Amino acid sequence: MDAVVTGGRSSLALLFEELAEPFTAEALFDQIPETVFFIKNAEGQYLCVNDTLVARCGQQSKSQLLGRTPSEVFGQELGRSYEAQDQEVLRSGRQLIGKLELHVYQPYGMGWCLTHKLPLHGREGQVVGLVGVSRDLAEPDVRDWDFGQIEATLAAAKSRLEAPPSVKEMAASASLSVYQLDRRMKRLFGLSTGQWLLKLRIEHACRELVETQLPIAQIALGCGYADQSAFTRQFRRTTGHSPSEFRKMGVL
């Protein structure tokens, strides 16, 4: 819906000028415990965070995060992946939408989320910062009729991780088009079918890394990757860690 325009300026812009202080939505996101929210400046430092992020960093107050970079908050190993992601948004001015990630909050465990980051532009069009959210993925309702329709297809995919099916093969197995299957997956899991398959493979890899001493190359093959380097690149993109780093952490 287009903003109401008054005297050549939007009513929303006029409203914001009337506010006593800038509106950041911080207080609103403080009420959503399953979502991390933050605003960063052009140097990638936190300027605004919500209570959920504070808690997951094991801190007591927002002031302990403000003015700091992800590396200073999470440590170099994990922080550098967040910073690389931030810098790409800040450099390119492009949005990051629906990035599937496995976040690790030592010593509090880990969890899957979808991350979105948007650049913030100054009056002359330059990128001056970014705003982002990471929303936790919820478990699907197994009583849902749609879940029953694709349950066998999902079980079959889980049973053949060493040679995972394509999205097209999964759709055919469920007697659905790719579009129909994707729509059901997004409603049930909050993910596309391709993202669900990636999550399945990385989750299995995480368990193998922590619970066994299998060589990383063997784990890669067991998750359907042709070689260890391809597996390592995907694992790092999704978790922020290399497989060997994750194994040393021992978090599940």
- For the stretch 193-244, pLDDT in tens is 999 999 999 999 999 999 999 999 999 999 999 999 999 999 999 998 899 9
Q: How confident is the model at residue 10 (pLDDT cuts 50, 70, 90)?
A: confident
So what's the pLDDT on residue 8?
A: 54
So what's the pLDDT on residue 77?
A: 76
Average pLDDT over residues 122-151: 94
Average pLDDT over residues 155-160: 95
So what's the pLDDT on residue 9?
A: 67
Q: Are 129 and 40 in contact (CB under 8 A)?
A: yes
So what's the pLDDT on residue 211?
A: 95
CATH number of 145-249: 1.10.10.60
> Where are the chain's structural domains?
23-136, 145-249
Topology of the domain comprising 23-136: Beta-Lactamase (3.30.450)
**Which residues are within 8 A (CB) of 156 and not within 5 positions of it... i.e. 6 or more apart?**
165, 173
pTM of the entire structure?
0.87
Percent of the chain with pLDDT over 90: 78
- Work out the number of other CB atoms within 10 angstroms of the CB of residue 179: 9
